[in-house]
Structure 1
Amino acid sequence: MNGVAWIIVVCEIAFWVVIALGLAARYLLRLSKLGMTLLALTPLIDLILLAVTGWDLYHGAQATTAHGIAAVYIGVSIAYGKRMIAWADSRFRYYVAKQGEKPSKLYGYAYSRDYLKGWVLHLLAYAIGCGLLLAMVYMVQDSSRTEALNQIISLWSVVLGIDLVIAVSYLVWPPKAPGEKQSS
């Protein structure tokens, strides 16, 4: 793995460590201001990753899949960040802090609508990530050095399309709750 790939791994780990520390401070130590401060640091991790990736490419590095994944990671982190933190918050609150209600599972059209909202976030992540990828391609201005970035855009476009098909299929055939009779 190259240096940028390691930075991506470190940033992903740091993202979840900061969230865990923020939730622990909030619920276990009852330090809500510290908890919110730690949770607010998550965008800083994205900025560090963006700066390292841009610096590496600007200084002549060959764009690799790792550079592209950095853009994907940033897009996903920005688009899904609030949702991921809310997901972690509800589970931490119930399972670790033993507070609040057990997070419920969705079924039927509620699940279908939630999945469709997730697809819209996927589309937002795609727009942000592809915008960053295209900015990197523009910054480098050497198609022989940015082929990997264009491949990621192509692959992500296919994944986004498949995710849309899945979202639509859930609208047509919403998942049933366990024990609920399946209609034919």
Structure 2
Amino acid sequence: MVAGEVGFWVLLALALAARYLLRRRAVSTALLLALPLVDLVILGATVADLRRGAVADWSHGLAACYVGFSAGYGHALVRRADAHAAHRLAGGPRPPRPPKYGRERAAYEWRIFFRTLAAAVITVVLIAGVQALVGDPARTAGLDPWYPRAAAVTGISLLIAASYTVLPTRGKRG
């Protein structure tokens, strides 16, 4: 799990360095396209570990959660990292900050909610799939706490988005 997380960031850094420092756009694109492979390796290692007889613990659930997060947020995260690299390394414009007030902030929070929802759904589907694939409820019971965790995170994100819609913040007057 840790190696996969480190691998993701190293691969992303190499892709951005290839793009902006070495001016190798094709190499950068190939490296960026390889980012989902990190998720597949993490998921494959998790399934293989459980199929070999391991008892599921928090790390197996975290691996599924990581893959869900990566699927839900990955594109936006890479786009933001690319904008920061373009600014810092290639003299591009400063990336815009998230809006602070009003409808724009509410719309931003709803985009976050839908990414969170996608990540949670993918996490839950992966956990259920791993449990079915392993076929031993006693060994995969350690994954069960991840269902309410995914629901709680999604619920919190929903409350935040709804609060910015119902009670929008306003900029300073003056």
Give the TM-score category using the shorter length.
Answer: over 0.9
Structure 1 position 74, deviation (Å): 0.5
> Is structure 2 residue 103 aligned with structure 1 residue 131?
no
For residues 19-48 of structure 1, what are the alpha-carbon distances to aligned partners after superposition, in whole Å with 9 as ceiling and x for unaligned?
111111101111100111111110110111
Unaligned runs of 5+ in 1: 1-7
Q: How does 1:112-151 map to 2 (within 5 A)?
A: 112-151=106-145
Structure 1 position 174, deviation (Å): 3.2
> Is structure 2 residue 162 aligned with structure 1 residue 168?
yes
**Paired residue for 1:50?**
43
Q: Which amino acid aligns with 1:70?
A: A
Q: State whether residues 123 and 150 of structure 2, in contact with CA within 8 Å, keep that contact through their aligned partners in structure 1.
A: no
What's the TM-score, normalizing by structure 1? Answer: 0.88
Structure 1 position 147, deviation (Å): 2.0
Q: Which whole-Å CA distance do the structure 2 matches of 1:20 and 1:121 have between them?
A: 23
**Paired residue for 2:104?**
110
Q: Which whole-Å CA distance do the structure 2 matches of 1:144 and 1:117 have between them?
A: 38
Q: What's the % identity of the aligned pairs?
A: 35
Q: How does 1:36-115 map to 2 (within 5 A)?
A: 36-94=29-87, 96-105=88-97, 106-108=99-101, 109-115=103-109
Structure 1 position 176, deviation (Å): 4.1
For the aligned residue pairs, the C-alpha RMSD in angstroms reads 1.5
Aligned to 1:144, what secondary structure does the other structure show?
helix
Closer, same or farther in 2 for the Cα pair 1:119/1:18, shift >3 Å?
Answer: same
Aligned to 1:174, what secondary structure does the other structure show?
coil
Unaligned runs of 5+ in 2: none
**Paired residue for 1:29?**
22
Structure 1 position 137, deviation (Å): 1.5
Structure 1 position 98, deviation (Å): 4.1
Aligned residues: 172
Q: Which whole-Å CA distance do the structure 1 matches of 2:62 and 2:158 have between them?
A: 21
For residues 94-136 of structure 1, what are the alpha-carbon distances to aligned partners after superposition, in whole Å with 9 as ceiling and x for unaligned?
1x21422111221222122111111101111111110010011
Q: Which whole-Å CA distance do the structure 1 matches of 2:70 and 2:169 have between them?
A: 27
Q: State whether residues 20 and 90 of structure 2, in contact with CA within 8 Å, keep that contact through their aligned partners in structure 1.
A: no
**Paired residue for 1:10?**
3
Q: Which whole-Å CA distance do the structure 2 matches of 1:81 and 1:148 have between them?
A: 26
Q: State whether residues 68 and 133 of structure 1, in contact with CA within 8 Å, keep that contact through their aligned partners in structure 2.
A: yes
Q: State whether residues 51 and 134 of structure 2, in contact with CA within 8 Å, keep that contact through their aligned partners in structure 1.
A: yes
**After alignment, is 165-174 or 25-34 more displaced?**
165-174
